[in-house]
Chains A and B, each alone.
Chain A
Amino acid sequence: MSGQTTTVPGAAVTRLSKQVVATAHPRGPRTWVATGVVNVVTAAIGLAFLVPMLWVVFAAFNARAGLKVEWPGSNFSLDNFRAVMTPETTYRPMWNGLVLCVGAAAIAIVVATLAAYPLSRFQTRYKRPFLLTILFSTGLPITAIMVPVYGLFVQLNLIDTLGGTIAFMATTSLPISIFLTKNFMDGVPISLEEAAWTDGASSMQTLRYVVLPLMWPGLSVVTIFTFIGLWGNFFIPFVLLLSPDRLPASVSIFTFFGQYGSVQWGQLAAYSVLYTLPVILLYLLLSRRLGGAFTFGGALKG
């Protein structure tokens, strides 16, 4: 609360610490207790996150699954998976989802890489306002524009087409893709490009032969990140696609299970496991590299 303390904490602290530099860290029974408490509290929060999730996994393998988290035990069976792994329940929606998300992620990455290059390499007076606009669109609540987008799609005759939906999904992930790609591109040193430039290479050639080979790791992070976001998206295909045979997994899970009175919970869980598995695997692939994406610090520099 008191302004004085908060304004110069670093300076005050450093000055004072010089006087007490001899005092070592307190290491004793108290620290042990504190560490114990920290671990218990952290583990308890983790448990609270884990327990609801266990239902999906246990129920999927339980022939008589209900809504409780129950170890399948003697009811263990793969019947739920057998029941849902049919073309119309699982394979087609998964395929549709794959077409939508791979298509949209691919467009987003190509377009974002092209856009990131001038934003990362050149200085113009329009750059900062442009980047700020991109940053703002990152937070745009897409849900809010779905009604006008529906209207637009009706006008353009794009309703219930995979192509239109792919283009729109690509656009919704463009701002964050441009933003992340630019940040990764900033990390590629310019010195190599300068050599290529002096030799007369065009900027597109430089991008293709010098920059891209150096930033595959970053690009794969952006691609996977985009794909995961799109794979889970429910509202966009829910609004823009109508025919049951075009619906992706995110929507069909709802139409297959959400509308009937007596839901087969085990089958719903089994389907959820199948639908969730791809994003879990992809996340494991990139988890080590994603850390850098969450710092806002260097967002608008340069």
Chain B
Amino acid sequence: MATLTRPGSPETGTELHRRTHPLRVDIARALPLTPAVVLLLVFLAGPILWCCYAAFTDTALTGAGSGATRFVGLDNFRQAFGSDAFRNSVVLTLVFTVLSAVVGQNLLGLALALLQKRAARVVRMLVGTAVIGAWVIPEVVAGYVWYAFLAKDGTLNEIIGTLGLGQNWLYTLPILAVSIANVWRGTAFSMLVYNAALSEIPQEIEEAAEMDGATGFSRLRYVTIPMIRRTVTTNLMLITLQTLSVFGLIYTMTKGGPGTKSQTLPLYMYEQAFSFSQLGYGTAIALVLLAVGAVFSVVYMRLLREEA
């Protein structure tokens, strides 16, 4: 270890005077990575691999599959895709993700970042605090906050009460209700990301566009957006994956109900695996959820590559 040198630093031994290091040196250098690699393999890669195996078995906590586990082929997936509850939750997951992440958090985050650049200092600070506050509070608390806001005796009905629209929003529009709550909770992330990206755009470019008479919207569309394109795609990927795994917020607000009207894939998976003790089937759902995430990622990666 003591004789290690960096590339570019004055060599201390002739043996290291090579571009590629001997395997021994590579291994010695990689040693500090071991704890991280072990943890990641055992607790992240392991479960994913087990997922790929158990999804094809009838593993269960109680009942038929709890004794000897049998290999059941594609039965779990056949059962899933044949079930209305599963298809319902796939659709709800897509609605929830597109509505609250791709559209809601992303556009509102960008809008806030753009507005904050022009707003007065006091306004900027106060709004930033409110938005980030919503992001920092724990998700269960956020769930209760929105339960209170949208319930029949809640604040929203108090505000719009005079319009005669009062209703329990959690019952009438559950998936919209949880989507709005998720926009409220997650927008800060996109806002901070876009704040950082916008601050990296050289000011001369914006000023030049302004002098050319490019007004607000066309400047945004032809100058600003093209310059932060990669950030937009990366941000979309991260918030999509975050939103796909939202559980606590929905569970606190509606428990997936009424009925199954806001039961996204994570909640359906939880119900099947733990309430109904069907671990094998639950794992198959988990695999579908991972696959949905992978599909979104591949699409975003494609977009990134095209831009590069």
Contact = CB atoms under 8 A, between A and B. Distances in A.
Nearest to B118: A38
Given A42-B124, A46-B127, A49-B184, A297 B200 contact: yes
Contacts of A275: 138, 141
Interface residues of B, number: 115
B79 interface: no
A163 interface: no
A288 B158 CA distance: 37
A67 B154 contact: yes
Given A45-B108, A49-B131, A279 B136 contact: yes
Given A39-B120, A52-B145, A144-B245, A171 B43 contact: yes
Contacts of A171: 39-40, 42-44
Contact of B43 (A110, A167, A193, A228): A167
Contact of A200 (B2, B136, B209, B237): B2
B193 interface: yes
A148 interface: yes
Given A114-B32, A170-B39, A250-B140, A265 B59 contact: no
Interface string A37-68: 01101110111011111011001000000111
A110 B35 CA distance: 9
Interface residues of A, number: 115
Contacts, number: 325
A41 B195 contact: no
Interface string B149-167: 1010111001000000000
Dominant secondary structure at the A interface = helix
A68 B153 CA distance: 7
A143 B264 CA distance: 12
A14 interface: yes
B145 A53 contact: yes
A217 interface: no
B286 A147 contact: yes
B123 A39 contact: yes
B98 interface: no
A142 B245 contact: yes
Interface string A249-267: 0100110011000000100
A258 B253 CA distance: 10
B205 A13 contact: yes
B4 A143 contact: no
Contact of A296 (B212, B230, B283): B230
15 contacts: A6-B222, A42-B115, A52-B146, A67-B153, A118-B31, A130-B33, A140-B293, A144-B266, A147-B273, A171-B39, A194-B6, A204-B32, A235-B247, A272-B141, A292-B196
- In the A-B complex, the 5 residue pairs with the smallest Cβ-Cβ separation, listed nearest first, are A46-B127, A234-B248, A141-B245, A143-B245, A232-B138
